[in-house]
Chain A
């Protein structure tokens, strides 16, 4: 894990399980003592889809839009926006948190070794 990992996820203080999506208690030991920690943000593509339809205008104006499922080396599977050329199953990626135009903190994946700025520009310079 790089010292500058831009990915914080929920970690159990009791058993150190990293989990996602966010839960009220630990999925392994059911402890309620959870905290946010920087975690290894590397992983690989489990699958991906290219969307041609969306229920939200924010995405409709950006179609087609690629979403990936990533197996993080830290443990969990995350869905993430994709910043890069067409992905491939098994491809090494890094995941970081960015802000979307709606102001939500979301995850974005990009090919391993790509410039950290690539994902930040995903929604455009004004996002």
Chain B
């Protein structure tokens, strides 16, 4: 089989509106997302023969349990424990299934609920390493881990809190046009700097708001997408890495730096060709590392990029154009699908907020699963509009 993803169409960006807390289970959000995917594509439930699911609050159930829950018989099922990298990875897996003829329509969905008071148990037992070697050290969840990474990055590359503030302000501006973003109130640099410390140097607006919700999209063949008359994006290139750079004492780069050249070569494009980029923004420092590792600037020049480039929708480097997780909220593992779904919205003209002018090609990256002192999964996809 060829390395490329020729003939594969990715379509039907769907978001199930986020809620701060919900009494529903994860299956409600995933089920409503599947229903919305079907109506968006105009296909019947019996035509959907593939399902890829990512969720952290669905356990002990999985994609398989959901087939019974949703009354579906599947030819192809995948459950991805890759957190914020699951969107790109499920798209890769689904694309191969479509190319091989193992499935005709695959729904790639991530959804999670958020019960009041349910956060502590999720954090305490997120992984074996985390339970034994992270949680006992202050029980601060990912905030502590990413505070350590943030301080090391600031010291190594001279980033300041103002630099991270620029990123957060730009994303809030993007969110102000997105009716589904939980945080839309304009954010000033003074608000950002004056926010209460959570895990220094991480302060309140460096953290995402955990919530309930779902994100999803469909993968099928270009032929079927055309037959249905639906706008779609083509998957031009995609890569994933797990446990890249294991001997780096602190995670100042991700797997993106290892696969970047292959990714761009496969698409025959470079970073300058991207009309937008959707990074995984659980914390500003991680979004910034993606910009560096994916070649939008050299390593360590992220702070300077933030001082000179405009990340807003109308800017010269539109990033996280729906507001990202920092403003839209983090609906569990759906946080990783947010950027991919937004990329599809931009490329197919179905935006919730602002349309990036002439968006024809864009990049969506993912990052997931903090197991000990860093996240292990990195992934990225380059997508192109069908009519580019």
- Whether the pair A49, B147 counts as a contact (CB closer than 8 A) is yes
Scan B118-162; emit 1 where CB is below 8 A from any A CB, else 0: 011001100011001110111111011001110110010000000
Q: A49-B202, A69-B250 are in contact. Are A89 and B155 (CB under 8 A)?
A: yes
Q: Chain B residues near A54: list those with CB within 8 A.
A: 138-140
A34 within 8 A of B: no
- Select one of B137, B139, B143, B202 contacting A79, CB under 8 A: B137
Interface string of A22-52 (1 = CB under 8 A from B): 1000000000000000000000001111111
B152 touches A53 (CB 8 A): no
Q: Give the distance to chain B from A105, nearest Cβ to Cβ, in Å.
A: 9
Residue from the list A47, A55, A100 in contact with B148, Cβ < 8 A: A47
What per-residue 1/0 map shows which CB atoms of A48-81 lie under 8 Å from chain B?
1111111110110000010101010000011111
Interface segment out of the listed B33-41, B192-200, B223-231: B192-200
Q: A46-B250, A67-B144 are in contact. Are A59 and B133 (CB under 8 A)?
A: no
Q: How far, in whole Å, are A22 and B120 apart by their CA atoms in the complex?
A: 23
Closest CB in chain A relative to B114 CB, distance in Å: 15
Q: Is the CB of B152 within 8 A of A80?
A: no
Q: In whole angstroms, how far apart are the Cα atoms of A54 and B202 in the complex? A: 14
How many residue pairs link A and B with beta carbons under 8 A? The number is 97
Q: How far is the CB of A89 from chain B (nearest CB, A)?
A: 5
**Given that A54-B140, A55-B124 are known contacts, is A48 also in contact with B151, CB under 8 Å in the complex?**
yes
A25 to chain B, nearest CB (A): 13
Residues of A near B137 (CB, < 8 A) are: 67, 79-81, 106
In the assembled complex, the Cα of A53 lies from the Cα of B203 at a distance in Å of 11
A117 proximal to B (CB < 8 A): no
Asked if B373 is at the interface (CB within 8 A of a chain A CB), the reply is: yes
Task: Chain A residues near B139: list those with CB within 8 A.
Answer: 54-56, 58-59
Q: Across the interface, which residues of A come within 8 angstroms of B199, CB to CB?
A: 49-53
The docked-state distance in angstroms from the alpha carbon of A25 to that of B151 is: 32
Minimum distance in angstroms from A81 CB to a CB of chain B: 6
A55 and B250 contact, CB distance less than 8 A: no
Partner of B138, one of A20, A67, A104: A67
Q: Is B21 at the interface (CB under 8 A from chain A)?
A: no
- Contact of B133 with A21 in the complex, beta carbons under 8 Å: yes
Interface size on B, residues (CB 8 A): 34
Q: Check A21 against B151 for contact (C-beta < 8 Å).
A: no
- Residue contact B138 to A71, C-beta cutoff 8 Å: no
CA distance A102 to B131 in the complex (A): 14
Name the interface size band of chain A: 20 to 34
Expressed in whole angstroms, the minimum distance between the Cβ of B327 and any Cβ of chain A is 20
Tell me the residues in window 93-111 of chain A with beta carbons closer than 8 Å to chain B beta carbons.
100, 102, 104, 106
Q: Find the residue from B133, B152, B155 having the highest chain A CB count within 10 A.
A: B133
Let me know if B198 and A52 touch, CB within 8 A.
yes
CB distance from B191 to the nearest CB of A (A): 18
State whether A59 and B138 are in contact (beta carbons under 8 Å apart), knowing that A49-B200, A71-B249, A79-B133 are contacts in the complex: yes
A100 → chain B, closest Cβ, in Å?
A: 7
Residue of B with least CB distance to A100? B136
How far apart sit A86 and B246, CA to CA, in the bound complex (Å)?
A: 29
Question: Contact between B151 and A77 (Cβ–Cβ < 8 Å)?
Answer: no
* Neighbouring B residues of A102 by C-beta, 8 Å: 136
In Å, the complex CA distance between A73 and B128 comes to 24
Which listed residue, B124, B250, B372, touches A47 by the CB 8 Å rule? B250
Known: A79-B133, A100-B136. A89 touches B152 (CB 8 A): yes
CB distance from B31 to the nearest CB of A (A): 30
Contact B144 A49 (CB under 8 A): yes
Q: Which of these, A22, A71, A89, A100, contacts B151 with CB under 8 Å?
A: A89
Contact indicator B136/A104 (Cβ below 8 Å): yes
Q: State how many angstroms separate the Cβ of B251 from the closest Cβ of chain A.
A: 10
Find chain A residues with CB under 8 A from B198 CB. 51-53
User: With the chains together, A81 CA to B133 CA distance in Å?
Assistant: 11
Task: Decide: B119 and A55 in contact? CB cutoff 8 A.
Answer: yes
Residues of B within 8 A of A50 (CB): 197, 199-200
What 6 A-B pairs come out closest when comparing CB atoms? A49-B147, A56-B139, A21-B133, A47-B152, A47-B148, A50-B200
| Residues of A in contact with B (beta carbons under 8 Å apart) | 20-22, 46-56, 58-59, 65, 67, 69, 71, 77-81, 89, 100, 102, 104, 106
Given contacts A21-B133, A69-B373, 17 further A-B contacts (CB under 8 A): A21-B128, A21-B129, A46-B249, A47-B149, A49-B151, A50-B197, A50-B200, A52-B200, A53-B140, A54-B139, A59-B140, A67-B137, A67-B144, A69-B250, A77-B250, A89-B152, A100-B136
